[in-house]
């Protein structure tokens, strides 16, 4: 074991502002901003925030607002969204928001875009959108890009100022047909570490058409990665988020993160144990050398130019320690 991470171009972080037991959402948001400053000090390339609506255990509901706070609190790290769910918003508004961000923090803003809609019928109604809006993602994406290039034709004479002429980095989250749309529009894509990932990446690279946004394909693979003193210690870090994910699939709510010791001491049903294992599928954990080998294999399977790390846990200092260890690997 070399103990050195593979030579990928960059390592970045996605933080969803998860709430911890005994805390309120406001503290989770403040912790996201603090974590971004720490990520910058550790040398990570990007720091992204996410969009979730009506999920009690997730405070990240307004990604462009939170991205502005993160950008203001940092100075070098790229800041973006992973992502803004385009079916929930009018493209002109998204263009205006990112135009403001890119104007205030030039050369540091990423516009990550997804096609998910609200989790429940109630939240979709509250947002004023339905399941069918996800089918219009390609058209919405084309309109959005047109506001930056000045070529949008859906609403003649409409200009999304100050976006026109600006170029934040644009990424498509490869959910559903996302990989094909990213290739068609010549955009970088983000894809999760799953069994179908190599096939989607190969299709994306084969169909990619160079554009004014990107001259060549660019793949960022998202993975849950924990590094500890031992494999057991690292695996322990991933329990809280995996358990909340498992609970969300049985009860329809993502609960605040709880300590791993409390979770592992619970009497779980067979269904809960299965869902916990399912939530942990594809996760990478171990001591430094083990993680380096696993990342090497991941990059080889995906051909990724960048790894987007999504790991969260209950204890903030333990989370920081894992990211510090990973940063050391990335630096070689």
Spatial distance between the Cα atoms of 121 and 115, rounded to a whole number of angstroms: 16
Residue 61 resides in a domain: yes
Q: Pick the closest to residue 56 from 275, 240, 257, 311 (CA basis).
A: 257
Residue 257 resides in a domain: no
The number of residues making up the chain comes to 332
Residue 295 resides in a domain: no
CATH number at residue 26: 3.20.20.30
Number of structural domains found in the chain:
1
Q: 3-class SS at 109? A: strand
Residue 228 resides in a domain: no
pTM for the full model?
A: 0.94
Taking residue 37's Cβ as centre, other Cβ atoms within 10 Å add up to: 15
Q: 3-class SS at 171? A: strand
Question: Could you list the pLDDT tens digit for every one of the 332 residues in the chain?
Answer: 344 544 556 999 999 999 999 999 999 999 999 999 999 999 999 999 999 887 889 999 999 999 999 999 999 999 999 999 999 999 999 999 999 999 999 999 999 999 877 666 677 778 776 655 567 899 999 999 999 999 999 999 999 999 999 999 999 999 778 899 999 999 999 999 988 999 999 999 999 999 999 999 999 999 999 999 999 999 999 999 999 999 998 887 899 999 999 999 999 999 999 999 999 998 999 999 999 999 999 999 999 999 999 999 999 999 999 999 999 998 87
DSSP letter at 169 equals: E
- Convert 198-228 to b/e letters by CB count within 10 Å (16 or more is b): eebbeebbeebeeeebbeebbbbbbbbbbbb
Q: 3-class SS at 315? A: coil
Residue 150 resides in a domain: yes
Q: Pick the closest to residue 235 from 195, 276, 293 (CA basis).
A: 276
Residue 120 resides in a domain: yes
Residue 140 resides in a domain: yes
Beta bridge partners of 265: none
Q: What angle do CA 152, 187, 6 make, to 5 degrees?
A: 160
Structural domain containing residue 207: 10-220+303-331
H or E stretch including 11?
strand 10-15
Q: Report pLDDT for 116.
A: 75
Spatial distance between the Cα atoms of 71 and 104, rounded to a whole number of angstroms: 9
Residue 126 resides in a domain: yes
Which ranges of the chain would DSSP assign to H, the alpha helix? 25-42, 63-73, 91-104, 121-127, 137-149, 178-185, 197-207, 231-237, 239-251, 260-264, 270-280, 288-302, 316-331
DSSP letter at 272 equals: H
Spatial distance between the Cα atoms of 165 and 144, rounded to a whole number of angstroms: 13
CB 160 within 8 Å of CB 99: yes
Chain-centroid distance, C-alpha 57: 17
DSSP letter at 175 equals: S
């Amino acid at each position: 074991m070399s103990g050195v991470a593979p030579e990928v171009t960059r390592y970045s972080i996605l933080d969803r502002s998860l709430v911890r037991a005994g805390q309120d959402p406001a503290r989770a948001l403040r912790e996201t901003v603090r974590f971004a400053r720490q990520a910058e000090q550790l040398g990570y390339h990007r720091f992204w925030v996410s969009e979730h609506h009506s999920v009690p255990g997730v405070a990240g509901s307004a990604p462009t607002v939170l991205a502005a706070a993160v950008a203001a609190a940092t100075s070098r790290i790229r800041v973006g969204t992973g992502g803004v769910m385009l079916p929930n918003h009018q493209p002109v508004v998204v263009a205006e928001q990112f135009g403001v961000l890119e104007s205030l923090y030039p050369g540091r803003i990423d516009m990550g875009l997804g096609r998910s809609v609200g989790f429940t019928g109630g939240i979709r109604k509250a947002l004023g959108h339905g399941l069918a809006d996800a089918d219009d993602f390609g058209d919405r994406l084309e309109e959005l890009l047109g506001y930056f290039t000045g070529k949008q034709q859906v609403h003649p004479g409409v200009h999304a100022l100050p976006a026109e002429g600006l170029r934040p980095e644009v990424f498509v989250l490869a959910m559903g047909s996302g990989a094909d749309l990213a290739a068609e529009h010549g955009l970088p894509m983000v894809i999760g570490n799953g069994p179908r990932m190599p096939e989607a990446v190969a299709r994306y690279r084969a169909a990619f058409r160079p554009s004014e946004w990107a001259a060549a394909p660019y793949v960022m693979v998202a993975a849950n990665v924990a590094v500890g003193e031992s494999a057991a210690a690292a695996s322990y870090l991933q329990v809280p988020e995996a358990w909340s994910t498992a609970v969300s699939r049985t009860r329809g709510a993502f609960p605040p993160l709880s300590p791993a010791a409390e979770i592992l001491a619970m009497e779980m049903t067979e269904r809960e144990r299965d869902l916990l294992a399912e939530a942990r599928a594809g996760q990478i954990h171990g001591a430094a050398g083990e993680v380096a080998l696993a990342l090497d294999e991941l990059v080889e399977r995906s051909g990724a130019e960048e790894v987007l790390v999504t790991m969260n846990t209950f204890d903030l200092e333990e989370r920081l320690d894992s990211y510090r260890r990973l940063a050391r690997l990335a630096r070689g």
